[in-house]
Structure formats: C-alpha cells, structure tokens
Amino acid sequence: MATQQTRTLARFMLAPSVGLLLIWMAVPLALTLWFSFQQYNPLNPIRDGFVGFSNYLLFFNNPAFLWSILNTLLIVASVLVITLVGGILLALLLDQPMWGQGFVRILVISPFFVMPPVAALVWKNMIMHAQYGVLADLMRTVGLEPIDWFGRYPLLSVIIIVAWQWLPFATLILLTALQSLDGEQKEAAEMDGANFLNRFIYLTLPHLARAITVVILIQTIFLLSVYAEILVTTNGGPGYASTNLPFLVAQKATLEFKIGQASAGGIIAVILANIVAFFAMRAVGKNLDR
Amino acid sequence: MARSVSTRRTAVVTLVAWAVALLIFFPILYTIITSFKSEQEAIQGFDLIPSFTLESYRDVQSQYDYFTPFMNSVILSLGSTILALIVAVPAAWSMAFAPSRRTKDILMWMLSTKMMPAVAVLFPIYMLFRDLGLLDSRIGLTIMLMLINLPIVVWMLYTYFREIPGEILEAARMDGASLWGEIVYVLTPMAVPGIASTMLLNIILAWNEAFWTIRLTTTNAAPLTAFIASFSSPQGLFWAKLSAASTLAIAPILIMGWFSQKQLVRGLTFGAVK
C-alpha cells in the first residue's frame, strides 16, 4: 500500500523518537555499567580506577543489600495482592446498579492522581501519626493504645500508603474490563441456575484474566521503583527496615558518594526489572498481534 | 414485588459503595478540611468541621513562596508534554500508516525503555546535567520528563491513529489530495481527539513524577513534588500549611483526572484494555 516515497518519509518521521530514546537509554546505561567496575569517589579521587567485580561483592556483602532486595519484593508482592483482591471486589461492587455511581467512581479513583509526596505525607502526619493521627484518635476512642506505625511497622506502613495509591488503578482497569462483559452470557448463566460464586469463577474471572495480567505487569514496573513514599516517611529506616533497592542505590550515590557500589546496585536493579519486563513484553506483545 | 426487591438491593449496594468510596477518599477529604483549619486546630484531634480560615493558604504563599514551585510544575508538565508530542506524533503516525516489518519490534523496544529503573541511570544523568549546567534548571527537567514519558506518548498515539481507517487516505488520494493535503485536511481532524487524550494523560504523569523532579532540583526549578517532599523534615511539621500546599498541589490534576478516566485506562494499559 505504502509507496517508496511514503516509506522514506515514514523513516524520517520515526527517527527523532528512536534516536532520542536510544541515546537516553544507551549512553547513561553504558556509563553506569562502566562505573560499576570503577572505584570512583568525587570526594576522594586519589584511589580511583578499575576494580573488577569488587563493587558487586561489596554491594552483595552489605547487609543492607539483602534487606533492600527482600523489601523490594515484599512491597511489590503485597501491594499486588492488596490491590488485586481489593480491586476485584471494588470493581464488582461498582458494577452493580446504584445511585450516584459516577460520583462514587470519582471518589474511588481519586487517590491515583495524588502525587506521591503528598500521599505519603498526608498518611504519615494526619492519618498514621502516633499522637495526632486520625487512627490514633480512633484507637484512643475505643480505649486502645495508639500504634507507632512508622516506628514499629515501617515497611507495612509504606505498603499501606502505596497500596492506597494503586488500588484505584486496579479498580479502574478491572471495572472497565468488567463492563465489557457480555450481559447475555451473564443472564444465560443465571437462567441455568449458576449461583454468584460459580458465575464469578467460570465467567467473570476468565473474562478478567487479561485485565488482571495487565494490572500485574504495569503495577510491577512502577512498584519496583517506589521511592518518594519511602523518602518522606521512614527515610528507609529504622535501620534498613524499609529500604528498597532504588532507595538504597540513590542513598549510596547521593549521600555516601559510593558511585561504584551505587552503579553496581543500579545494574542489579536493571537485571531485576528485566526479568519482570521479559514477561511483561510477552504479554503485551500478544495483544499487539490480535 | 420483584421491583421492590431490586430497589432494596440498589439501596443496600448504594449504601455500601458510598461507605467504601468515602473511606478511600477520606485522606484527601481530611487534607482539604485541615487546610481550612488553623495550625492549633489541626493538631487538636479529629474534627471534620474546620473554622474555615484561609490563614494557611496565605502563609504557604508568604512564608514559602508557593507560587514558584506551582509555576514550575505547570511549566514542566506542559512543556514536557508539548515537546513529547512534537517528537511522538510523526513517529506514531508513520508506524500506524506506513508500518514496516520492524514496526512491532520498535514499539516493543520503546516500551522496554520505560521499564528501565530510574536509579540505574541516576548518577550518569546527574553528571551529565552537572556538566551541561542543567541541574536545577527548568529546561533540563523538561527534557528529562519528556524522555521518560515519550514511550507512553508514542504508544498511546499509535493505538489511536491505528483506529483511523486507511481507506479514507486512499479516497483522499483518489480525489487528488497531495500528501500534505492528506495530513492537514483528512488525518489531522480525525487525530485531534486522540492527541488531546494523550496530552491529558501525559500532563498528569509529568505533574506527579517524583523521582527525577526531587533528585535533579534544589530550589530554582523545583516543582510541587520536590516542594512538598521538603515538608517531611521535622521543622516542616505544620499540618494546616502542609494541607493547604497539598490541596493546591493535587486539585488541578484531580479535576483533570476525573475527566480522563477512559483515556487513563487506555493509555496506561497500552491499548490492551479499553
């Protein structure tokens, strides 16, 4: 269909995007890889030079490293479970006929539009604060001792905040998918005497499969790099209790100036993301073929 | 009979749904309420009725110069979105209307760049910015945000453009339209809704981006994300002011978000869920 002329034109039109992304991805990544094999400290340049794999060894031998990997995976897994289970339940609820559905929908999706620092600080100060927070007030009212959320359950606190931000996303996607479910099929199943649970397992869930996959993949990409929420609430602590990999790497680079180790950590983060991306691309790629 | 049962059912569903929705919305609601309290009221325990003072809004401007980060956010999100569109529209266009064997690979590769963790390139980018004098500059950050969101913009535009029927082009060609004429008079009017949706979503994403905006700025170019994050230090523990600053920071995007629910689903799932 396309003539030679349009094809040449098409290539010219495509070139800026491809070129920019190539430069923005390849150059910094190559530099990071290079730095990961170097001793490089902007404050103390005397000992700079090639050090082989010792940055990686240092990073692996750092107790913070294990913590950060564990915390990264814990954040991803728990937020996924919370948002998927909650999102399916909410989507089923919002799909029912009710009064003021549009407004309810708006309320539910709102947290997704709140910038991470605001979300984190509002939860930290006004909701979960051990003295003045709404939860503390609530617990005192029923005669319980208020919980010091960020001191005693730092990772859980971060997970709650991040889950609050992503629950609307999962709900919105699943609700959209749910609304495309064929009403006649549902009615037929009802006529045949399938109860709610059966309809859900054999009809709704398979229909949602693709949306669920998409939610898992997209969220995982973003959840692997949770940063601002940790920075403004626990600052990674106490100790390393709420430090994830992005936070640890940023910390190494900007506070300790251990550029070599930070770069090694960055490369590990890339590998981790690539493992996830591999599955993500396959799933999204399938949708392209349809 | 059946009618009354379904009415009762609707009433119950409505009640439950409203309760859950209000619970989810509560942190935002409480922030808005607290922003109309005085600092003393704000820490005096749970209270849903503020004294409706505008003191915090005044203080946020007079003590912290709120207007500067706000304008930075506006400039950065609008600037990066427009830049991204300028680069992405031709690319998406060519892939949708003159696809080659490699189109799919290019699209997948673009998506894969989005999956690269930002921390992995933090230091090289930081050095690059420092050497080019782009640290804490609006230009530097605009370019950065544009690059981060470029893959999503290309993808989203691509899914919209692909839905424009190719026969229309052929018909126009038959009628003797030039390539330029095709683009300006036939395709552009059909593409405008898609471009507008893409723009909306990208402004939201750029407004809320909270890694590069925090790490690459200090004061001059710091947008609202960095400004609000600076409230995390102990001396910034002024809740009414924090609430006022937060309310102003999320209000414009919240309202835009409400209007872009559909586009959001489409854009963030790369067209997989519509």
Q: What is the pLDDT of residue B70?
A: 93
Q: Domain count for chain A, please give it.
A: 1
In order along its 274 residues, chain B shows pLDDT tens digits of 445 568 888 899 999 999 999 999 999 999 999 999 888 787 777 888 888 888 888 888 888 888 999 999 999 999 999 999 999 988 998 888 888 888 888 888 887 787 788 888 888 888 888 889 888 889 999 999 999 889 889 988 888 888 888 777 778 777 877 777 777 787 778 888 888 888 988 999 899 988 888 888 888 888 999 998 888 776 555 888 889 999 999 999 999 888 888 777 877 777 677 6
- Inspect the interface and report whether the beta carbons of B121 and A98 lie closer than 8 Å: no
Which chain B residues touch A14 with a CB distance below 8 Å?
A: 90-91, 94-95, 106
More confident residue, B135 or A190: B135
Q: Do A108 and B207 touch (CB under 8 A)?
A: no
pLDDT higher at A31 or A4: A31
For B102-127, b/e burial (b = at least 16 CB within 10 A) is ebeebbebbbbbbbbbbbbbbbbbbb
Tell whether A16 is covered by a domain.
no
Per the structure, the complete domain to which residue A180 belongs is given by 48-95+104-289
Give residue A154's pLDDT. 92
- Tens of pLDDT along A11-35? 888 888 889 988 888 888 888 888 8
CATH number for the domain spanning A205: value is 1.10.3720.10
Query: Residue A91 falls within a domain, yes or no?
Result: yes
Residue B76: per-residue pLDDT: 94
The per-residue pLDDT for B264 is 79
Look at residue A274 and tell me if it is in a domain: yes
Query: Is A71 among the domain residues?
Result: yes
Using one digit for the tens of pLDDT, what is the confidence trace for A116-126? 999 999 998 88
Q: Which residues contact A219 (CB under 8 A, 6 or more apart)?
A: A79, A80, A83, A166, A169, A170
A211, β-bridge pairs: none
Residue A20's nearest CA partner among B104, B270, B150 is B150
- Residue A140 half-sphere exposure toward CB, CA atoms < 13 A: 13
A13 within some domain: no
Residue A162 in any domain: the answer is: yes
Cα torsion for B108, B113, B115, B116, to the nearest 10°? 150
- Find the Cα–Cα–Cα–Cα dihedral A179, A184, A187, A192, rounded to 10°: -130
Domains of chain B: 2-58 (no CATH), 66-232 (1.10.3720.10)
Tell me if chain A has a CB within 8 Å of the CB of B82.
Answer: no
Structural domain includes residue A32: no
Tell me the whole-structure pTM to 2 decimals: 0.88
Distance from CA of A115 to the nearest CA of B (A): 5
Predicted ipTM? 0.87
Residue A287 has pLDDT above 60, yes or no: no
Q: Which positions in chain B touch A227 (Cβ < 8 Å)?
A: 118-119, 210-211, 214
Q: Residue B55 is encoded by which pair of tokens?
A: 């003191």
Q: Which residues of A touch B271 (CB under 8 A)?
A: 287
Domain assignment of residue A33, yes or no: no
Ranges A81-85, A244-248, A264-268, most confident: A81-85
- Note whether A217 and B112 are within 8 A (CB): no
